[in-house]
Structure 1
């Protein structure tokens, strides 16, 4: 690899140099990356820089010749998205403009690769839009959850979305089918959550002050035979927040193989429910930079609509 010179664009303006290099030199171990920074081999406008240096539009970054680990031990080839997956994602685009892309993510597809999955939504979408210089996830939803996912097409848009999420300025609502009859009307729930000891994949409710605060407003949309369709407006974005809160309230989400009622899951499987009935249905927010308001709705997938129909039919046949 020869010396490389890179001119900072709007997408890198304000970004730390170490974060830029992590993205730009993906195959370079972080220890080696910080070593070349420490030795002054990376220069910005011919000057040595520290890892926390924030880039400015128009600055020129000198990246030294680097023997990549990938050249010594070539990694596995990146997973290639199938034509059928690319077609599904193309059809799943709810809205796209110069700043953002909204996708109705199918259930079963992780938002990014890792943890046993070589390919996620973001990797596949980059293959679908190879000419876009920048695409990043603005937030995450669980692999088994379907519905709205937001992608940013610039670093500025991504940074603003992160700020809006942090400040609670994005109205994000889900639909969930839960066990039993919901009798609480509209209920504002606050619980402290923490990861279960020894598990990074499961969360539990803990005493106040012993975990991270999670807040959700639940409202009843429809009572069905043995189940209730709820709307969940999340005010915080904790891991598995809706699923754990509803389990704790005695109304686990149907089809949930981690926090659910397994006997009920088997019963509703006979009515066609083969996965978690949780759908990211709506987002509503305004980008401050442009003043543009986004009100995006993702229709309930056909498999979940069919479950609701089958529940009604089953109730009549009884």
Structure 2
């Protein structure tokens, strides 16, 4: 790896596109090739000055703020093996304009690097669009979930979209296949959720009966189609139910855990589903978790116009449904 030696103090002037951002996040983006831990260390030590004053990583920056940096050895990211190992990739575009990009994320691709994953959607997009000054995830999808994913192309759009999310304005609809017979009467699941660490160190979520302890979570469910019959019984599965799940809150693994709480886990869910049933479903043709972010309705972050975006079920999920014996209405 080659490095560019920076032997003197540097000064950065904050542009309009970065106004309102946290100082540490701004420096992490500007100083590509410098480890995050080093950036945090020089801020804590007082070597970084914001408008000639000591500062914290959580401080918000404004237009024309002056940031003083100590001498730093910055890795040349174009010569960095880790950077070069990221494959440039464009994903199916559902919507794009000057401030917003919405793609149809495939299953099996993480949205960003970390936790044993060296890169994800956002790193691949940045690699494919080197001219783009700003590309940031607006929200996240689990690695094995496919569907609509929003990426902001301007800082101002990201702030507006996050504000919209806090007010529960984006209408997010998913399609999921449950293992078992989902009762028609179960439409609203309002069970609080709490995060914990699993036996292998993985991030997990469970329902908690203590509203003081868990985060409020609400999912609206609707039955779309049922599947049952001798062909299905041969696999040891009595029935499957195609569901529509609308998020009223946006908690980690919310749909997956709420469906598991009704004894109807998502087909192919390796974390919250049944291992043996998932193996049978694999043999029957389902090679992934059946969860897809299919619809998104939200006000545009600049114009305010209502966007209604749709990503149809991926071919592999459509083909699996066609192979199942449907129950007549």
Taking structure 2 as the reference length, what is the TM-score of the superposition? 0.84
Select which of 20, 36, 48 maps to 1:14. Answer: 20
- Considering only aligned residues, what root-mean-square deviation do their CA atoms show, in Å? 2.5
- SS state at 2:322 partner: helix
Cα shift at 1:158: 0.9
Structure 1 residues 124-143: aligned runs within 5 Å = 124-143=124-143
C-alpha deviations, 1:272-316, integer Å up to 9, x for none? 101100001111010354212221111110000010011138x89
1:149 aligns with 2:149: yes
Partner of 1:121: 121
- Residue aligning to 1:218: 221
Alignment TM-score, normalising by the size of structure 1: 0.86
In 1, Cα distance between equivalents of 2:207 and 2:46: 47
Q: Is 1:207 matched up with 2:209?
A: yes
Which residue, out of 293, 305, 318, partners 1:280?
A: 293
1:5 equivalent to 2:7? Answer no
Aligned with residue 42 of structure 1, among 22, 44, 49: 49
- Does residue 77 in structure 1 map to residue 93 in structure 2? no
CA contact (8 A) 2:27 2:39 kept: no
- 1:186 deviates by 6.1
Q: CA deviation at 1:19?
A: 3.1
Q: 1:28 to 1:176 in 2, by over 3 A?
A: closer
* Partners of 1:42 and 1:64 within 8 A in 2: no
1:104-152 CA-partner distances (Å, limit 9, x unpaired) = 0010000001111111000001111111100000111110001011000
- The equivalent of 2:231 in structure 1 is none
How far off its partner does 1:252 sit? 0.9
Work out the CA distance in 1 between the residues paired with 2:149 and 2:43: 37
Within the candidate set 230, 252, 262, 1:249 is matched to: 262
Residues 135 and 197 of structure 1: is their aligned pair in 2 closer, same or farther, counting only changes over 3 Å? closer
Q: Deviations over 1:77-104 (max 9, x none)?
A: 2253446xx2xx34x1111101111110
Report runs of 4+ in structure 1 exceeding 6 Å deviation: none
Alignment-derived partner of residue 248 in structure 2 = 235
CA deviation string 1:207-227 (max 9, x = no partner): 132311211000111112221
Q: Does the residue aligned with 2:316 lie in a helix, a strand or coil? A: helix
Aligned-partner SS, 2:298: strand
* Range with bigger deviation, 212-221 or 283-292: 283-292
Q: Does the CA contact (< 8 Å) of 1:78 and 1:118 recur in 2?
A: no
**Residues 49 and 189 (structure 1), Cα distance of their counterparts in 2 relative to 1, 3 Å cut:** same
Q: How many residues align?
A: 305
Residue 189 of structure 2 is matched in structure 1 by 189
8 A Cα contact 1:104 1:149, kept in partner:
yes
Instruction: Map residues 33-112 of structure 1 onto 2, 5 A cutoff.
Output: 33-35=40-42, 39=46, 41-44=48-51, 47-51=52-56, 52-68=58-74, 77-82=82-87, 86=89, 89-90=90-91, 92-112=92-112
What is the Cα deviation at residue 11 of structure 1?
1.7
Contact kept? 1:185, 1:219, Cα under 8 Å:
no
Q: From the superposition, tell whether residues 186 and 192 of structure 1 become closer, same or farther in structure 2 (CA, over 3 Å).
A: closer
The aligned counterpart of 1:24 is 30
